[in-house]
Amino acid sequence: MVNSMGDMKSEAAPLVSISVLAYNHEKYIRQCLDSILMQEVNFLYEVLIHDDASPDGTADIIREYEAKYPEIIKPIYQIENQYLQKNYVDLFNIDMFNIDRARGKYLAFCDGDDYWLDPKKLQKQVDFLEKHSEYIACVHHTKVIDEFGNVHQSYEFPPNYNTRDYTLSDAENLLMGNGCAGHHSSLVCQNIFINLPKGIYMSYLQCKANNDIKLFLLLVLNGRIRRLSDTMSVYRYIISGGTSWSAGYGKIPNICLLTYNRLRELSQFSETSYGYTPDYTDFENELVLVSLYKLVTHPNEDNWNITRELFTLTKDKFRLLTYIPKFTVDNMVRHLRSC
């Protein structure tokens, strides 16, 4: 057994490529990288880090690890923030800076403000995928904490996690799982991008939807995902500030139309690339009701325009009425966090 890969040679190709996205993660990046380097495995892995021109000390910390583990740590240090510049990729494809250079048969993920808990996490998941080639990926349960390290008792990601296989029908039911089989930090999957046809790859890049949901949709369009019962990673759910997805969305008063349009993007990608149109009707109808609720409780021009457009886009308005009795705002707001 080899711990942290310290005595493995760089000439051989890694079995796993681990993608780490970092931006303003000075407070968290050490814990993230240490949790990866503590992995007890019998195979080679590489850690591909993309620092998006962090203005704090994140890049300096990454350089320390690169100097100490040059055969493992493979960073990209951006000079200009790529999300703001909109060069090559945007927020929906930021992982591709790492995935496009990944050499591994498998991909794993851990954003710079998250971390892994179990030193055997990677070995367990790779062993499963090596023994069960019919599965394209596997995930596990994830603990959720806030930026201060407090456990979130009221928030689970994804909602209603269970250990049965995750399939295309599950990905369509965003009300149950947010379109994700598990949290990004729990995912180990086949490196589907190695042999992905160019047309599908370009369509994937052009799809403007949440990166996690888009990736999980691509995976289940190509196979099943096993959900493991272990809790082996931590998602740092930051909402009070900073640059996290959750913090950014908390600043948008009404994201219903934005979310609706991203569902349309997912549907278009799936239909164009695989000839399959996902059924997001339940979630779309809930979006209309949430928008209506926002209009009633906060009447203003923006909420009026968003609600009016959503009603216009709704195909079956009579069917929409059937969702009112089971509509709960608190539950729906939880789901909107990840769209």
Bridge partner residues of 3 (DSSP): 40
- Give pLDDT, residue 109: 98
Each residue's pLDDT tens digit, 288-319: 988 988 899 899 999 999 999 998 998 777 77
- Give pLDDT, residue 153: 65
| Res. 136 pLDDT band, cuts 50 70 90 | very high
- Give pLDDT, residue 328: 62
Mean pLDDT across 156-160 = 74
Tokens of 336: 């909107």
- Give pLDDT, residue 243: 47
Whether 338 has a pLDDT exceeding 60, the answer reads: no
Domains of the chain: 2-248 (3.90.550.10), 252-336 (no CATH)
Distance between CA atoms of residues 121 and 90, nearest Å? 30
Mean pLDDT across 173-179 = 79
Whether 283 has a pLDDT exceeding 90, the answer reads: no
Whether 144 has a pLDDT exceeding 50, the answer reads: yes
Whether 324 has a pLDDT exceeding 90, the answer reads: no
Whether 245 has a pLDDT exceeding 70, the answer reads: no
Each residue's pLDDT tens digit, 106-116: 999 999 999 99
Mean pLDDT across 88-101 = 80
- Find where tokens 């971390």 sit: 115
- Give pLDDT, residue 49: 98
Whether 242 has a pLDDT exceeding 50, the answer reads: no
Each residue's pLDDT tens digit, 51-69: 999 999 999 999 999 999 9
Structure-derived torsion over alpha carbons of residues 10, 11, 14, 17, reported in degrees to the nearest 10: 60
- Give pLDDT, residue 92: 75
- Give pLDDT, residue 314: 85
Distance between CA atoms of residues 74 and 56, nearest Å? 20
Closest CA to 254 of 306, 210, 200, 196: 306
Cα separations in angstroms, 279 against 15, 76, 126, 172: 36, 38, 32, 6
Name which residue leads in pLDDT, 283 or 114.
114
- Give pLDDT, residue 67: 98
Each residue's pLDDT tens digit, 119-131: 999 999 999 999 9
Whether 321 has a pLDDT exceeding 70, the answer reads: yes
Considering just the CA atoms, what is the radius of gyration of the chain in Å?
A: 20
- Percent of the chain's residues with pLDDT above 90: 63
| Res. 85 pLDDT band, cuts 50 70 90 | low
Q: The whole model's pTM is what? A: 0.88
- Give pLDDT, residue 154: 60
| Res. 94 pLDDT band, cuts 50 70 90 | confident
SS3 108: strand
Contact 229, 140 (CB under 8 A): yes
Mean pLDDT across 69-92 = 78
| Res. 47 pLDDT band, cuts 50 70 90 | very high
Tokens of 298: 């906060």
